[in-house]
Amino acid sequence: MIKPFIYFTAKLLAIFSSLTMLFTAGTDISPLIISALAFSCLLLAELLVLIKLPLFKLKWIIISVVAFICFFVSAKNYFPMFAITIVQISCEYSDKKLRYEIIFVSVVLLFLLFPTNTVLGLITIILVITTLTSIYLCERIECLVKASFEKSKVISELNFKNSQMQQYIKTVRSAAIVEERNRFSSRIHDKLGHGVSGSIIMLEAAMLILKNEPDKAEKTIRKATENLRDSVNNIRIALYDERPAKMQIGMTHINQILEEFKISYNTQASAETKGDLSKIPHEIWQCIIENLKEALTNFLKHSNGTKFVLKIEVMNKILKVQYEDDGKSYGKIKYGIGLEAINERIAVSCGRMLIQNDTNGFRIINIFKL
């Protein structure tokens, strides 16, 4: 929609330039002024039609009519306008790859067919170059706007898919929890239900024969007691088998936090481990997880980096936990609420905190004794 205004402005400047040159030459330009006014009205009508009814055939007819009238009235006197009209036709209806070759040949032929004075020829060349530059910039802007719109559309689709993915993850997680509960309840029922039910029946039978057959009732009670003891042992075994190791709980929680962070904020986040993680006690796992949440929050708020890594290294008597990102920072680090909270949690677990910041990134290092 910008190009019709560019052509309109260029043609008006061409008409004004022609009249100025003719007036300077001392020529009687009264008829030309009338024709210039007529041309201006015609160009305004062309502009309105091109904006309101941007149809291919209609555009071709209007531009051709303007060119014909210009040629019929006086192509020599309105040489710059005729040149701009040729440029417009070439831009609108020629292949973009050959556009500039066609315009160059057309303008050269125009100079050969309608020789003009040097000044008007120079003005024509300047107007043609200015018009072509404006059209090129206009098309580039349109391409960028279109590309921006397409990227916005893609981003909207990705955000929608992201929300769907998060909902899917929640659904799968809920289904997995329900399935695990169902499996565990079935196992408890199979291991415990029959034994306890049988023991209850035996105890009830023992109560009925307790007065008349005390010896037999005593044997029944002993048998029921053994069944209940076996059932309790089966429960303990089941709970021991079902309970995951501390390191599995800790790493599962950590990986879940990092995955959700990656999906939510479209950034890189990972965990690296080294050594025997089973040596880490439960309270330190809790400290690591809480500090991870705090470090991720600080990464979002204050870092200019794009990658976050949690490194856990278990040595013989020492545990080293490092939260690092690739954001470049300089100067002294100010302890805010987040870093103070991390330091307090480490102190409770009898650990120490170190901070490093340089051109390689920002690192929060936690040291614990095992």
pLDDT of residue 318: 92
Instruction: Please say which residue of 242, 258, 276 terminates a domain.
Output: 242
Residue whose pair of structure tokens reads 């500039």 in the numeric block: 100
**Full domain range(s) for residue 230:** 163-242
C-alpha–C-alpha distance, residues 350 and 366, integer Å: 10
CB atoms under 10 Å from CB of 144, counted, come to 10
Query: Is 110 found in the same domain as 98?
Result: yes
Which pTM was predicted?
A: 0.46
Residue type, 69: I
**CA R_g for the chain:** 43
Provide the percentage of residues in the chain whose pLDDT is more than 90: 11
Q: How many domains does one find in the chain?
A: 3
Query: Is 207 found in the same domain as 300?
Result: no
Mean pLDDT to the nearest integer, 25-29 = 61
CA dihedral 127, 128, 129, 135 (to 10 degrees): 110
Query: Is 317 found in the same domain as 341?
Result: yes
pLDDT of residue 15: 77
Instruction: Please say which residue of 213, 242, 271 terminates a domain.
Output: 242
Q: Helix (H, G, I), strand (E, B), or coil: what is residue 272?
A: strand
Mean pLDDT to the nearest integer, 310-325 = 92
pLDDT of residue 313: 93
CB atoms under 10 Å from CB of 231, counted, come to 19
Query: Is 294 found in the same domain as 230?
Result: no
C-alpha–C-alpha distance, residues 70 and 47, integer Å: 16
* Beta-carbon contacts of residue 346 (< 8 Å; ≥ 6 apart): 287, 291, 352, 353, 366, 368
Name which of 75-79, 250-254, 326-330, 358-362 the model is least confident about. Answer: 75-79
